[in-house]
């Protein structure tokens, strides 16, 4: 079974995404990390698990989406990743990330479900 991790410190975002995936893609196991320390919990999980898909919030306290992506790259996991962020276009964190990773899809909240699925190369 393929695995999807959703990392966002907003519980509702992770719950509704999880619900959408469980209906549309019952063959994908969804693992949500949605506490204030979501990043560190996801990092611990990835020490012994390889996600096939990842929906990551760019800005979280502590270990953030950027750190998680660096870990995915370091482990050479072939994880299809999309970033979901509440940052504005002018936010320097977002600008830096996009400059560093021009090929990684970064969607600004509010993003449509279709755009999230398309970014993960899943059939919307």
List contacts with other proteins (CB under 8 A): 8, 10, 12-13, 15-17, 19-20, 23-24, 35-37, 59, 61-62, 84, 86-88, 91, 108-113
Q: How far apart are CA 51 and CA 4, in angstroms?
A: 6
The CB-of-59 to other proteins minimum distance in angstroms stands at 7
74 vs 89, which CB is nearer to other proteins?
89
Q: Which residue, 19 or 50, is less far from other proteins as judged by CB?
A: 19
Pairing verdict, β 53-57 and 2-7: parallel
Q: How far is it between the farthest Cα atoms of the chain?
A: 39
Cβ closest to other proteins, residue 44 vs residue 49 = 44
- Output b/e per residue, 21-34; b: 16+ Cβ within 10 A: beeebeebebbbbb
Taking the complex as a whole, how short is the minimal distance between the CB of residue 4 and other proteins, in angstroms? 15
Residue 8 DSSP class: -
Nearest distance, CB of residue 77 and other proteins, angstroms? 25
Alpha helix (H) ranges present in the chain?
A: 11-24, 38-48, 65-74, 92-100, 113-119
Closer residue to other proteins, CB minimum distance, 86 or 105: 86
CB of 45 to other proteins, least distance (A): 19
């Amino acid at each position: 079974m393929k695995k999807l991790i959703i990392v966002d410190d907003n519980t509702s975002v992770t719950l509704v995404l999880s619900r959408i995936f469980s209906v549309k893609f019952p063959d994908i196991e969804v693992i949500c990390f949605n506490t204030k320390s979501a990043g560190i919990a996801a990092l611990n999980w990835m020490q012994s698990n390889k996600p096939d898909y990842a929906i990551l919030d760019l800005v979280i306290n502590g270990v953030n989406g950027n750190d998680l992506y660096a870990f995915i790259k370091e482990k050479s996991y072939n994880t299809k990743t999309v970033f979901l962020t509440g940052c504005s276009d002018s936010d320097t964190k977002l600008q830096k990330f996009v400059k560093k990773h021009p090929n990684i899809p970064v969607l600004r909240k509010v993003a449509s479900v279709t755009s999230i699925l398309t970014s993960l190369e899943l059939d919307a």
